[in-house]
């Protein structure tokens, strides 16, 4: 029971971090809209980072189901 509660909390924190990262990315991308080229580069880096984070969260949740 306790372990499942801890896992749940950890996955909630991971999801919150993911949301926070996405918000920060969106902010910078919108804020730097004048410099389109570096903007696109930054946006691609953000997307890759967010993708990696979400895959980590999915794997983490899957492992705790086993």
Domain that holds residue 32: 2-65
pLDDT of residue 59: 77
Given this model, what pLDDT does residue 40 score?
61
pTM score, two decimals? 0.38
More confident residue, 1 or 42: 42
pLDDT tens for each residue of 2-40: 555 555 666 677 667 767 777 776 676 666 554 555 556
Distance CA(36)–CA(56), nearest Å, equals: 30
Residue 51 pLDDT grade (very low, low, confident, very high; cuts 50, 70, 90):
confident
> CB-based contacts of 48: which residues, under 8 Å, 6+ apart?
none
Total of domains in the chain = 1
């Amino acid at each position: 029971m306790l372990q499942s509660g801890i896992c749940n909390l950890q996955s909630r924190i991971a999801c919150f971090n993911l949301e926070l990262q996405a918000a920060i990315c969106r902010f910078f991308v919108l804020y730097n809209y004048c410099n389109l080229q570096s903007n696109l580069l930054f946006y691609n880096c953000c997307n890759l980072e967010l993708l990696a984070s979400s895959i980590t969260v999915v794997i983490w949740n899957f492992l705790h189901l086993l």
